[in-house]
Amino acid sequence: MKMMTLRPTILALAMLAAAMAPQVQANTWTISATGTINSGYDSTGMFGKAGGNLAGDAFTESITIDTDAWKPTGGSSTMTDLIGAGPSFTDSVTVNGHTFTLTTTSATSSSSIYLSDAPSNNFVNANLHGNAADGQATYAEIYAYSKLIDFLPTSNFIEDVTEPINSSFSQADSYFSTNGVLGTASFNADPGMSTLAISAVPEPAPLALSGAGLAALALLRRRRG
């Protein structure tokens, strides 16, 4: 009888332990930039009027990856490199109230993501090329580098950062281009970026395990009471 009671207790404690285990990476990592386009052209009207000059227009760009798909290929204690072909990514761009979002089937071999939280040498560079299933090709890049402020708390893709781009940054830029059946447009914001944001969304599994473990322990207390 004691064994019957012990097993649910062990199971509940195991669930709680699994939920409290440290996470190395989040499932979804997003880097975003806002600012003003330095130069750009919209030949097909993706962001408004076809043939429009995008220079001076406000923009928002967000690049999202699944960190479970991208595996580290190098780096050091203060830097993580994700390089290679295969993993997909999503790029979402808004200009003039028009939003273009594309999820690629894969990234090309020239794609890379670098994070460095080295003191006085913080930088992030997401440089991605890929094609959607319909052949639409997209290039997306967001880059920020600073020797004056340590804006990255880690280089493990679990960052949560919102940083205004100012003189503390040696360089910060955002690039975008796409062409194919959905249209053709491109721009660069170098200079032009005004904010940088990075967010990581952890797996929901630990929360679910934690809830299940607590529920199991509560049920056992009620039964014993």
Q: Which helix (DSSP H) or strand (DSSP E) does residue 213 occupy? A: helix 205-224
Q: Which residues pair with 52 in a beta bridge?
A: 42
The type of residue at 164 is P
On whether the CB atoms of residues 153 and 161 are closer than 8 A, the answer is: yes
If one counts every other C-beta atom within 10 angstroms of the C-beta of residue 164, the result is 11
Q: What is the mean pLDDT of residues 50-60?
A: 95
pLDDT score for 29: 93
pLDDT score for 7: 53
Terminal alpha carbon distance of the chain: 16
Residue 75, classed as helix, strand or coil, is strand
% the chain with pLDDT above 70: 77
Q: How many residues does the chain have?
A: 225
pLDDT digits (tens, 9 = 90+) for 107-164: 887 788 999 999 999 999 999 999 998 999 999 999 999 999 999 999 888 889 999 9
pLDDT score for 225: 55
| Separation CA 195–CA 178 (nearest Å) | 23
What band does 191 get if pLDDT is binned at 50, 70 and 90?
Answer: confident
Q: Crossing angle, helix 205-224 and helix 2-20, to 10 degrees?
A: 150
The pairing of beta strand 137-146 with beta strand 171-179: antiparallel
Give the phi and the psi of residue 63 in degrees, each rounded to 5.
-115, 130
The whole-model pTM stands at: 0.78
Q: What is the mean pLDDT of residues 200-216?
A: 56
